[in-house]
Amino acid sequence: MFHQTVLDKIDVTYHSSIRIGGEKVIYIDPLHISGAPHDADLILFTHPHADHFSPRDAKKLMKESTVIAAPKSMSVMILLTMQKKAVPLVPDQRTELAGVPVRTVAAYNTGKLNHLKAMKWLGYILTIGETEVYVSGDTDVTDECRSVSCDIALLPVGGMYTMNPAQAAQLANTIAPHTVIPVHYGTMLGGADAPERFRNALNPGIQADIRSTVYSNVMIPMYARLAVLAALCIVLYFILRRIL
């Protein structure tokens, strides 16, 4: 059941970094966290890509009782970088974490290699009071996504690595939540008009809640680092050729 009070407690701090306040404070894929509030009861990770997994930011949120949960394949990574064991999760699992009912949903690409189904990365359905909140993670439109029932959905609309605005709207029209918050868009990811294109493709009766804090330039430094790494590899190659 949709409750406005739950929607009001959902913040997207940047890109796909989500905070849900209330009796239990929940973070999903925290990134670009200001200050060090150390207020997280539960931290969930969807997958290990750098725009979703930032141990430095997650540590700003952790307190002694914080529960961390993530795909099983991330367990060692989290232990090494955050010095804390994570609850290992797999798709289509129901559990309770920090007193919050959680169901996992597979998150993967169907025609791209960026998010492989075999990795068993995740989206989450959280039950907040009587309201079901679906955070899809990085995914295309899949059979698993289409089977979701929720009141509030947070869906990526940037394309390239995820569903694009039209595809995200198609999914929203299928699962028919009360409200959708579009996330995961910005420079090199759909552009500034991605959320409006998403809104315009929704069926009447489904609300699009567009947040100004979502738009990001997160891909620019990531591509810059890759370019530097590629250049170093090329230089090393030619140095080795001359030596050998």
CB burial of 121-156 (b: ≥16 within 10 Å; e: otherwise) equals bbbbbbebeebbbbbbbbbbbbebbeebebbbbbbb
Q: What stretches of the chain adopt beta strand conformation (E)?
A: 10-14, 17-20, 26-28, 42-44, 67-71, 87-89, 94-97, 100-106, 122-128, 131-135, 152-156, 179-183, 207-208
Q: Which CATH architecture has domain 4-243?
A: 4-Layer Sandwich (3.60)
Q: What is residue 223's predicted lDDT score, i.e. its pLDDT?
A: 64
**CA 156, CA 195: separation in Å to the nearest integer?**
10
Q: Which two tokens stand for residue 82?
A: 């955050």
Q: What is residue 84's predicted lDDT score, i.e. its pLDDT?
A: 96
Q: What is residue 231's predicted lDDT score, i.e. its pLDDT?
A: 81
Q: What is residue 224's predicted lDDT score, i.e. its pLDDT?
A: 66
Q: What is residue 48's predicted lDDT score, i.e. its pLDDT?
A: 97
**CA 141, CA 162: separation in Å to the nearest integer?**
9
Q: What is residue 80's predicted lDDT score, i.e. its pLDDT?
A: 97
Q: What is residue 229's predicted lDDT score, i.e. its pLDDT?
A: 72
> Does pTM surpass 0.85?
yes
Please, is 176 exposed, middle or buried when counting C-beta atoms within 10 Å of its C-beta (0-12, 13-18, 19+)? Answer: middle
What is the phi-psi region of residue 35: left when phi exceeds 0, alpha when psi lies from -120 to 50, beta otherwise? left
Q: State the residue for tokens 């299928």.
A: 174
Can you give the residue ranges of every domain in the chain? 4-243
Could you list the pLDDT tens digit for every one of the 244 residues in the chain?
A: 999 999 999 999 999 999 999 999 999 999 999 999 999 999 999 999 999 999 999 999 999 999 999 999 999 999 999 999 999 999 999 999 999 999 999 999 998 889 999 999 999 999 999 999 999 999 999 999 999 999 999 999 999 899 999 999 999 999 999 999 999 999 889 999 999 999 999 999 999 999 999 999 887 776 666 667 778 788 887 888 888 7
What is the phi-psi region of residue 219: left when phi exceeds 0, alpha when psi lies from -120 to 50, beta otherwise? alpha
Q: What is residue 20's predicted lDDT score, i.e. its pLDDT?
A: 98
